[in-house]
Amino acid sequence: MSETPKKRKKEQPRAIDAPFVALGPSGVAIRDRLKNLTIEDDKVLRLIGDHLGTLASLDLKVRCADGSDHSPEKWAARKQRLTCESSSRWAGSITKATHDQWALSRRCQLAHIETLEAGVRMLMHRLSQPLGDKGTKRAAGGYRSKGEWFHKSRRLHILRHRLDRARTDREDGRVHVVRGGRRLLGARHNLGKAQLTEHEWRQRWEAERWFLAADGESGKRFGNETIRLTPDGEVSIKLPAPLAHLANSEHGRYILASKVAFAHRGHEWRDRIDSNRAVAYRIHLDVERGRWYLTASWQRPVVTTVPLETARANGMIGVDTNADHFAAYRLDRHGNPVGEPHRFSYDLSGPADHRDAQIRHAITRLLHWAKSCGVAAIAIEDLDFTAAKTREKHGRKKRFRQLISGMPTGKLKARLISMAAEAGLSIVAVDPAYTSQWGGRHWQKPLVSPRRTMSRHDAAGIAIGRRALGHPIRRRTAPPPPGQSDRVGHRTVQAGPGIRGREETRPPVTERAHDARTRTGTTRGTRETSASKTVRDARNAGTWVQDPLLIID
């Protein structure tokens, strides 16, 4: 007697998180090029950067050796040692930068441990499943063959070893930091692949390890005593004690020949230095272009976000983020799609500067269109692929893993929030669960017309906007109670009688109520086969039916 196959349990959708208005930016950074520098200026900047960079490296080494046993007394001792070789303000900037770098390494260490734990859990689950098991959408199945099972079991041992080592480092307060960047350090052993010569690599390595940054001080002249920038653009630097003989101005300061004029946010920067509020400055060299740049940054008070109901008042624009474009659709406050779908394309291939410019250009076009529509907010998905980037979760889907790994979700969201705040728009973040699936099911087909093509991404934009507005994604709801018909109200949430396709496609008979045939007076059965309309099939049937009107007596 054969065993009946077990039926899979129908998966229930997970709980959907409530939408929220994202907080605005907490800081500002602007940059300008230092033009017309003399040979002496370039020499002095290199000497300052090299000297302070050496001190920063030594201070980072001491801080990493302290580990979790750090205390304010040890911080003060480090600063006192550095003051003898530079100045009290330079020492304060170096120790603060060291502390921030160590804290960032600790956060990255925790994220690495969580990634390893997710990989170990996935491997253990898949190894425990039978070979060839397909699994479900939420839980992966077994591996395809014994060979794949064997290789994955070996990888499990490797990940466990890495996880144990990372946990031990975290318990001991040990971090691994590379001043200059681990990627650039690895390029030293692959100069051909990096398309660099040893001399070019050495120049970049030294420039990345330089230190030319000073924190601002409120109440001091122009907001910074170490790197001072006057309203007319004059840049002066307080030289460290060993380099004081290079000063060309009084009080051990060196004045650069270049003048700085910030084209972006220049008036905001000038208001800060006129009132002697803190402004931090950083000078760095772009080795590839051979240009010096000065970056000014300051903190802003946390902008109070508008209430969610205020953001929903004039409708919203739902944006679906993809690997190469934004798919946006405008919705009114009732959740109805208005107008045509819009796409804002970008190209994330090439160097980082090109990718950043592409994203900024796409966001700028999106914001200009949103302002012309008169909406007060833009809805986006709160995407986070941190737990989904593991190779153990998606297995052979290498292209899909590359796709989600190449989407800069964190940077894109931060830049969109920052640029939207300057345009007077709010950002509403929603749960990304099932937006593409439900949007394509309920909105893609009804909105197709001879002059309009709807993609799954366009439909996902509608789903995102409706979720941000507080409406269900599905257009059709349960009938009103009296008689379960349309005599009291419409079956949809918001669509009026004149809306095209508001009722959606009715489901098949098998998906209707179980007593539908009983109520209509019909019984379940099979329809008789229709008679053939061709002479050939009629002859093969073996039975001739004559028309009684053609019979002649």
- The predicted-structure confidence for 317-356, as pLDDT tens digits, reads as follows 999 988 888 999 999 998 899 989 999 988 877 777 788 8
Supply the pLDDT for residue 498: 59
Supply the pLDDT for residue 4: 47
**Rounded mean pLDDT, 501-509:** 50
Q: Give the other-Cβ count within 10 Å of 468's Cβ.
A: 29
Q: Which of 121, 163, 118 is nearest to 384 (CA)?
A: 118
CA 39/CA 48 separation, integer angstroms: 14
Using the structure block, give the residue that is written with the tokens 């209430």: 307
CA 383/CA 431 separation, integer angstroms: 8
**Rounded mean pLDDT, 417-440:** 88
Cα–chain center distance at 167: 27
User: Letter for the amino acid at 11?
Assistant: E
pLDDT at 545 over 60: no
pLDDT at 220 over 60: yes
User: Letter for the amino acid at 21?
Assistant: V
Q: Give the other-Cβ count within 10 Å of 106's Cβ.
A: 14
Q: Which of 215, 187, 199 is nearest to 282 (CA)?
A: 215
CA 332/CA 443 separation, integer angstroms: 15
Supply the pLDDT for residue 391: 59
CA 343/CA 328 separation, integer angstroms: 6
pLDDT at 456 over 60: yes
**Domains, the chain:** 27-299 (no CATH), 308-469 (3.30.420.140)
% of the chain at pLDDT higher than 90: 48
**Rounded mean pLDDT, 494-523:** 49
Q: Give the other-Cβ count within 10 Å of 507's Cβ.
A: 9
| Range scoring the smallest mean pLDDT among 158-172, 251-265, 379-393 | 379-393
Supply the pLDDT for residue 303: 64
Instruction: List the 213-214 sheet strands across, edge first.
Output: 27-34, 291-299, 280-286, 213-214
CA 447/CA 453 separation, integer angstroms: 8
- Split at pLDDT 50, 70, 90, the class of 32 is very high
Check residues 535 and 226 and name the one with the higher pLDDT: 226
CA 40/CA 473 separation, integer angstroms: 65
Check residues 137 and 248 and name the one with the higher pLDDT: 248
Supply the pLDDT for residue 422: 84
Supply the pLDDT for residue 140: 80
pLDDT at 44 over 90: yes
CA 240/CA 206 separation, integer angstroms: 19
**Rounded mean pLDDT, 411-425:** 85
pLDDT at 407 over 70: no
Q: Give the other-Cβ count within 10 Å of 6's Cβ.
A: 6
**Rounded mean pLDDT, 411-421:** 84
**Rounded mean pLDDT, 371-400:** 72
Check residues 394 and 243 and name the one with the higher pLDDT: 243
pLDDT at 218 over 50: yes
Most confident range (mean pLDDT) of 300-304, 391-395, 454-458 is: 454-458
Supply the pLDDT for residue 285: 94
Supply the pLDDT for residue 434: 87
- Split at pLDDT 50, 70, 90, the class of 553 is very low
Using the structure block, give the residue that is written with the tokens 């002649």: 552
- Global pTM reads 0.73
Supply the pLDDT for residue 10: 56
Q: Which of 359, 323, 364, 317 is nearest to 342 (CA)?
A: 317
pLDDT at 547 over 90: no
Tell the burial category of 4 from Cβ atoms under 10 Å away from its Cβ (0-12, 13-18, 19+): exposed
CA 253/CA 246 separation, integer angstroms: 9
Using the structure block, give the residue that is written with the tokens 């993609």: 455
CA 439/CA 432 separation, integer angstroms: 11
Which residues, 6+ apart, have CB-to-CB distance to 112 below 8 Å?
Answer: 166
CA 237/CA 57 separation, integer angstroms: 21
Check residues 24 and 384 and name the one with the higher pLDDT: 24
Check residues 392 and 294 and name the one with the higher pLDDT: 294
Q: How far apart are the first and last CA of the chain?
A: 65
- Split at pLDDT 50, 70, 90, the class of 384 is low
Answer yes or no: are the C-beta atoms of 37 and 260 closer than 8 Å. Answer: no
User: Letter for the amino acid at 504?
Assistant: E
- The average confidence (pLDDT) of the chain is 82
Supply the pLDDT for residue 69: 86
Answer yes or no: are the C-beta atoms of 300 and 26 closer than 8 Å. Answer: yes
**Rounded mean pLDDT, 249-277:** 91
- The predicted-structure confidence for 54-106, as pLDDT tens digits, reads as follows 999 999 999 999 988 888 899 999 999 999 999 999 999 999 999 999 999 99
Q: Give the other-Cβ count within 10 Å of 117's Cβ.
A: 15
| Range scoring the smallest mean pLDDT among 221-235, 276-290, 389-403, 505-519 | 505-519
**Rounded mean pLDDT, 498-511:** 51
CA 256/CA 232 separation, integer angstroms: 13
Q: Which of 254, 200, 225 is nearest to 38 (CA)?
A: 254
What is the Rg, in whole angstroms, of the alpha carbon atoms belonging to the chain?
33
Tokens of 465: 């906007």
Judged by phi (left if over 0) then psi (alpha if -120 to 50, else beta), residue 290 lies in left
Supply the pLDDT for residue 185: 92
Supply the pLDDT for residue 382: 84
Tokens of 176: 């691994």
Supply the pLDDT for residue 500: 56
Tell the burial category of 183 from Cβ atoms under 10 Å away from its Cβ (0-12, 13-18, 19+): exposed
